[in-house]
């Protein structure tokens, strides 16, 4: 078996390539099973002719057109067969002993996903690279220092957030794991949206999020002709940086926190920055490892550095400023009020707060106003007075004392984070005494105090000194946002619904590992297959399941810029949308609920959730009929789209499944109510079909046993006595679920009812025959030509199970018929192949992203025809 596949992308530089190959072959350990794959990206200096002269184990690929660094490496990886992929540039010179410690590190630690090494410059032997770290100023930095030789002997591995792909080794199974890249379907390898830069850091961050570690092997050293392969920095480097920070902002902030704490403590120790003790203590806690999450102070300061880098990238790349929110409900102002002292300004009692949506501020925020002179005859109006401005609870600016007359005070370059609202708090200074006396005047109003005392306190109750400061404008980036001289102070106009661009905001738990999360991801795939403008919005309502699916994580946003909101949500929690997303989120939009339901009668208590929507979409005609009978809204069938990369090769060893038996699979979530999913019927049918279990195997996959201990105990009891079974009781990533579906021969689902039957459809997409209950939504796509429908008897629920109430109707699949179908499939491989091929063909035709996306586009096109 090949141990290492060396992948070398090429674009000219033939002489460097020859040196690279010679030193590589001279330094390889004896007996190492390996292959060397060159991928030429349209070289013009004789490289292609030279490649044709190389003997085995060298192989090569010739790109037809220039594909770039990412795609070129990916092409080499697709050819590779080694356990490890060594990604190396052609401008390296290899030194004896460079490879062995890298392989030893990977072999000894299964959690180590990728390793790099030390690279020294050829021209002066200085250290060019010993890992990559993130700085608190939103910069990536190549580490260019090493510990002592003794330290390296004790600790030869340095864990880092990232390394360069100029010379690194990654596990092939990790590199080939599919990843989403914007609107491009999931694919393995580097993301091709980068252009010759940033791909390596992006991959390393993905590995870290998957639970692997990245390291530099300090005892491995190579020599590097720096910049010979990549050339001087070009404008597209700015685009790569913007792309990287766009994908990984929060992760980069997390890995920059250590440097933030280090810089803060250095400035405090050297006295170069005055900082509050809270900041010092926070930095000490970070450095000591007492903090598991990024402190808000660090998150804001590092996030602000990234925000101002974004402004730089936009300028360099000629990108326009994003549109500013124009819904008045996105702007919140509290604590200011009009009074009789001055009608064209407003005053505060002690402080006021303004919350502004993302994008309103980029450069500065200022408060314009003036200070009225004190009344020389009234002591309660006299004394110095000023303001303290605080942005996002962290950054402050003080103007004290303010002279009588006009003032303009504010903050340049405020601490802002992309896509985050800005909270400005303005407090009065110099009024503590007057505020205390005013408070005493209010609380003692009915007390029997001496008249002189009462008269004195009464004079302070109006807080006239506070009202001397008059606020006339709140200005952001030299543009008044509030102008209190105007009858309508907020200087924006709300757009009408028709003025929002026509498009879809897919709102849901797009990272959640459960059915309703996959529902949202299915819609995201279908939308991305169309030309419809779209946004993927991470729903803020709490979710019990693990939030580990990263398919669309890099594309998630908080704003909903398009006219149509589609909420993937259960009806009972619809009233929580405004609480978590704000009242403005649904305003001036066409709000659509995407609901699934599994019984013929929609619950009466859920009908009131219709008040939050304009129409309902659902995954099947079965669900539509149940909902439409009760609700006063239009209800449309919009099935789930089914599309994913088919697993390659034999997946059975991955799950320790036998290779000489016919495997039957059923999978479900215990949170979805075991009584409805009905795994016991699958187990009973298996027992009836195969009393001696000859040549067969049963796989039951479930999740969330810790939340459903009684149901899980009953499941284990039902499996007791069976010798050829596998029980998987943990959450798998989607790619693992698809691999499990591919590993088994037949999918069995004897559910009592389904609103769609996502697992059934996915198994059919993989090309597996299904044994499925012939009732509810699955009956709409499983029939005798592409599967084995199981006849049913309709029964009345004798007790309530969660939302499924006593007295409702669901199916009781006939176990004997299911057992007969399982026996026929086990005995007839040709039948399995024929039904599986028909199933895959039908699912692709009915539920492809393009087919489902066309339904969305047709519905939105109809909206354009409606009268205003």
Looking at the structure, tell me whether residues 601 and 709 fall in a common domain. no
**Both ends of the chain: CA-CA distance in Å?**
68
Last residue of a domain, one of 603, 637, 671: 637
Identify the three-state secondary structure at position 586: coil
Looking at the structure, tell me whether residues 168 and 309 fall in a common domain. no
pLDDT class of 253 with cuts at 50, 70, 90: very high
Is residue 673 in some structural domain? yes
Q: CA quadruple 519, 525, 527, 530: dihedral positive or negative?
A: negative
Which of 114-118, 297-301, 647-651 shows the highest mean pLDDT? Answer: 114-118
pLDDT tens digits along 362-372: 999 999 999 99
Mean confidence (pLDDT) of the chain: 91
Q: Evaluate whether 639 touches 848 at the Cβ level (below 8 Å).
A: no
Alpha helices in 28-171 (DSSP H): 47-51, 69-79, 100-108, 149-154
Decide if pLDDT at 493 tops 70.
no
- CA 38 – CA 32 distance, rounded (Å): 19
- CA-nearest of 118, 32, 129 to 82 is 32
Last residue of a domain, one of 191, 216, 232: 232
Is residue 678 in some structural domain? yes
Q: What is the CATH number of the domain that holds 112?
A: 3.90.550.10
Tokens of 794: 């309709």
pLDDT class of 868 with cuts at 50, 70, 90: low
Q: What is the DSSP letter of 804?
A: B
Q: What is the DSSP letter of 329?
A: G
Is residue 855 in some structural domain? no
The angle at the Cα of 225, spanning 220 to 230, to the nearest 5 degrees, equals 110
In DSSP terms, 662 is beta-bridged to 696
Q: Looking up tokens 């006396």, which residue turns up?
A: 437
Q: Quote the domain boundaries for residue 519.
A: 497-637
Residues 110-119, mean pLDDT to the nearest whole number: 96
Is residue 321 in some structural domain? no
Q: What percent of the chain has pLDDT over 70?
A: 97
Looking at the structure, tell me whether residues 704 and 593 fall in a common domain. no
Looking at the structure, tell me whether residues 631 and 663 fall in a common domain. no
Q: Evaluate whether 663 touches 697 at the Cβ level (below 8 Å).
A: yes
Alpha helices in 271-350 (DSSP H): 277-288, 296-317
**In 77-139, where do the E strands start and end?**
84-88, 92-94, 112-121, 127-129, 132-134
More confident residue, 20 or 584: 20
- CA 265 – CA 799 distance, rounded (Å): 63
- CA 347 – CA 336 distance, rounded (Å): 5
Is residue 415 in some structural domain? yes
More confident residue, 116 or 278: 116
Looking at the structure, tell me whether residues 166 and 68 fall in a common domain. yes
Q: Evaluate whether 91 touches 71 at the Cβ level (below 8 Å).
A: no
Q: What is the DSSP letter of 21?
A: H
The pair phi, psi for residue 80, each rounded to 5°, is -70, 150
Tokens of 366: 């200022």
pLDDT tens digits along 511-552: 988 889 999 999 999 999 988 999 999 999 988 888 888 888
Q: What is the DSSP letter of 276?
A: -
Tokens of 734: 């989607």
Is residue 489 in some structural domain? no
The pair phi, psi for residue 22, each rounded to 5°, is -60, -50
Q: Evaluate whether 212 touches 203 at the Cβ level (below 8 Å).
A: no
Tally of structural domains, the chain: 5
pLDDT at position 181 is 54
Is residue 373 in some structural domain? yes
Tokens of 717: 């009891």
Lowest mean pLDDT among 20-34, 321-335, 728-742: 321-335
What kind and span of H or E run contains 727?
A: strand 725-729
Identify the three-state secondary structure at position 731: coil
Q: What is the CATH number of the domain that holds 809?
A: 3.40.50.2000
- CA 23 – CA 333 distance, rounded (Å): 68
Q: Evaluate whether 590 touches 614 at the Cβ level (below 8 Å).
A: yes
Looking at the structure, tell me whether residues 125 and 34 fall in a common domain. yes
Tokens of 27: 């330094």
Tokens of 601: 């009668």
Residues 64-87, mean pLDDT to the nearest whole number: 93
Decide if pLDDT at 232 tops 50.
no
Is residue 863 in some structural domain? no
pLDDT class of 866 with cuts at 50, 70, 90: confident
Looking at the structure, tell me whether residues 398 and 472 fall in a common domain. yes
Number of H helices, E strands in the chain: 23, 38
Looking at the structure, tell me whether residues 625 and 665 fall in a common domain. no
Preceding peptide of 419 cis, ω within 30°: no
Last residue of a domain, one of 209, 232, 255: 232
Lowest mean pLDDT among 107-111, 152-156, 177-181, 204-208: 177-181
pLDDT at position 322 is 78
Pairing of strands 364-371, 469-476: antiparallel
Looking at the structure, tell me whether residues 424 and 567 fall in a common domain. no
With a threshold of 0.75, does the pTM exceed it?
no
Decide if pLDDT at 587 tops 50.
yes
Looking at the structure, tell me whether residues 538 and 632 fall in a common domain. yes
Decide if pLDDT at 227 tops 90.
no
In DSSP terms, 348 is beta-bridged to 336
Lowest mean pLDDT among 12-26, 316-330, 376-390, 493-507: 493-507
In angstroms, the Cα distances linking 817 to 495, 684, 775, 792, 855 are: 60, 11, 14, 9, 36
pLDDT class of 725 with cuts at 50, 70, 90: very high
pLDDT at position 183 is 47
In angstroms, the Cα distances linking 467 to 373, 399, 535 are: 11, 16, 45
Q: What is the CATH number of the domain that holds 347?
A: 2.60.120
In DSSP terms, 725 is beta-bridged to 698
Q: What is the CATH number of the domain that holds 616?
A: 3.40.50.11930
Give every CB contact of residue 52 below 8 A, 6+ residues apart in sequence: 60
Decide if pLDDT at 605 tops 70.
yes
Looking at the structure, tell me whether residues 580 and 536 fall in a common domain. yes
In angstroms, the Cα distances linking 756 to 147, 515, 760, 844 are: 59, 10, 9, 16
Q: Evaluate whether 187 touches 179 at the Cβ level (below 8 Å).
A: yes
Tokens of 270: 């050297």
Looking at the structure, tell me whether residues 720 and 742 fall in a common domain. yes
């Amino acid at each position: 078996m090949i141990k290492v596949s060396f992948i070398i992308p090429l674009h000219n530089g033939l002489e460097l390539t020859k040196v690279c190959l010679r030193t590589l072959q001279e330094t390889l350990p004896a007996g190492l099973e390996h292959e060397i794959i060159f991928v030429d990206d349209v070289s013009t200096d004789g490289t292609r002719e030279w490649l044709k002269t190389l003997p085995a184990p060298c192989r090569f690929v010739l790109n037809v057109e220039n594909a770039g660094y990412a795609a070129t490496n990916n092409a080499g990886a697709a050819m590779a067969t080694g356990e490890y992929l060594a990604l190396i540039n052609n401008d390296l010179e290899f030194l004896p002993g460079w490879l062995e410690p890298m392989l030893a590190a990977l072999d000894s630690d299964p959690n180590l996903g990728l390793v790099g090494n030390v690279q020294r410059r050829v021209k002066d032997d200085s250290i060019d690279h010993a890992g990559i770290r993130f700085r608190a100023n939103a910069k990536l930095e190549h580490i260019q220092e090493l510990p002592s030789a003794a330290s390296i002997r004790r600790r030869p591995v340095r864990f880092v957030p990232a390394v360069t792909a100029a010379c690194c080794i990654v596990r092939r199974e990790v590199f080939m794991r599919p990843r989403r890249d914007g609107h491009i379907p999931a694919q393995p390898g580097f993301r091709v949206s980068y252009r010759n830069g940033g791909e390596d850091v992006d991959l390393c961050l993905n590995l870290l999020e998957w639970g692997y570690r990245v390291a530099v092997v300090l005892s491995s050293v190579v020599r590097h002709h720096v910049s010979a392969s990549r050339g001087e920095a070009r404008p597209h480097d700015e685009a790569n940086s913007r792309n990287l920070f766009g994908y990984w902002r929060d992760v980069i902030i997390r890995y920059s926190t250590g440097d933030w704490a280090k810089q803060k403590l250095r400035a405090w120790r050297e006295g170069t920055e005055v900082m509050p003790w809270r900041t010092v203590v926070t930095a000490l806690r970070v450095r000591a490892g007492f903090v598991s999450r990024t402190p808000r102070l660090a998150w804001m300061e590092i996030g602000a550095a990234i925000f101002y880098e974004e402004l730089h990238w936009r300028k360099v790349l000629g990108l326009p400023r994003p549109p500013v929110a124009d819904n008045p409900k996105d702007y919140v102002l509290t604590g200011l009020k009009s009074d009789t002292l001055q009608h064209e300004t407003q005053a505060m009692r002690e402080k006021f707060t303004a919350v502004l949506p993302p994008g309103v501020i980029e450069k500065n925020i200022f408060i314009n106003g003036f200070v009225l002179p004190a009344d020389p005859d009234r002591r309660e109006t006299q004394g110095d007075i000023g303001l303290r401005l605080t942005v996002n609870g962290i950054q402050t600016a003080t103007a004290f004392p303010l002279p009588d007359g006009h003032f303009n005070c504010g903050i340049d370059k405020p601490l802002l984070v992309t896509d985050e609202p800005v909270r400005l708090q303005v407090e009065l200074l110099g009024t503590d005494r007057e505020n205390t006396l005013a408070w005493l005047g209010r609380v003692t109003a009915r007390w029997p105090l001496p008249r002189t005392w009462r008269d004195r306190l009464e004079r302070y109750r109006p807080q006239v000194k506070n009202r001397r400061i008059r606020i006339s404008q709140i200005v952001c980036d030299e543009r008044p946002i509030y102008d209190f001289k105007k009858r309508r102070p907020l200087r924006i106009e709300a757009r009408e619904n028709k003025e929002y661009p026509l498009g879809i905001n897919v709102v849901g738990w797009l990272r959640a590992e459960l059915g309703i999360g996959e529902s949202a991801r299915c819609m995201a795939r279908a939308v991305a297959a169309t030309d419809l403008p779209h946004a993927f919005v991470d729903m803020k309502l709490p979710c019990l399941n693990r939030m580990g699916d990263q398919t669309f994580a890099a594309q998630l946003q908080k704003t909903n810029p398009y006219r149509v909101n589609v909420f993937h949500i259960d009806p009972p929690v619809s009233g929580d949308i405004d609480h978590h997303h704000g009242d403005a989120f649904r305003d001036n939009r066409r709000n659509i609920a995407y609901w699934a339901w599994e019984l013929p009668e929609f619950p009466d208590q859920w009908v009131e959730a219709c008040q939050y929507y304009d129409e309902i979409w659902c995954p099947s005609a079965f669900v539509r009929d149940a909902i439409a009978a009760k609700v006063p809204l239009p209800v449309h069938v919009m099935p789930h789209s089914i599309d994913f990369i088919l697993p390659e090769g034999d997946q059975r060893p991955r799950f320790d499944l036998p290779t000489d038996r016919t495997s039957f699979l059923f999978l479900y979530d215990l949170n979805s109510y075991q009584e409805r999913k009905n795994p016991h019927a699958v187990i009973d049918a298996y027992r009836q079909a195969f009393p001696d279990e000859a040549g067969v195997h049963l796989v039951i996959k479930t999740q969330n046993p810790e939340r459903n201990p009684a149901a899980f105990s009953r499941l284990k009891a039902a499996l007791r006595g069976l010798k050829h079974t596998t029980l998987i009781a943990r959450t798998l990533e989607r790619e693992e679920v698809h691999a499990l579906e591919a590993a088994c021969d037949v999918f069995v689902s004897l559910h009592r009812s389904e609103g769609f039957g996502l697992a059934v459809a996915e198994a059919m997409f993989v090309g597996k025959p299904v044994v499925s209950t012939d009732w509810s939504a699955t009956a709409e796509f499983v029939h005798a030509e592409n599967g084995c429908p199981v006849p049913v008897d309709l029964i009345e629920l004798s007790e309530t199970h969660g939302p499924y109430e006593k007295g409702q109707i669901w199916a009781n699949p006939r176990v004997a018929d299911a057992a007969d179908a399982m026996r026929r499939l086990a005995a007839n491989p040709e039948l399995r192949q024929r039904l599986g091929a028909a199933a895959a063909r039908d699912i692709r035709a009915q539920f492809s992203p393009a087919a489902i996306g066309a339904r969305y586009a047709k519905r939105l096109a109809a909206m354009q025809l409606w009268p205003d």
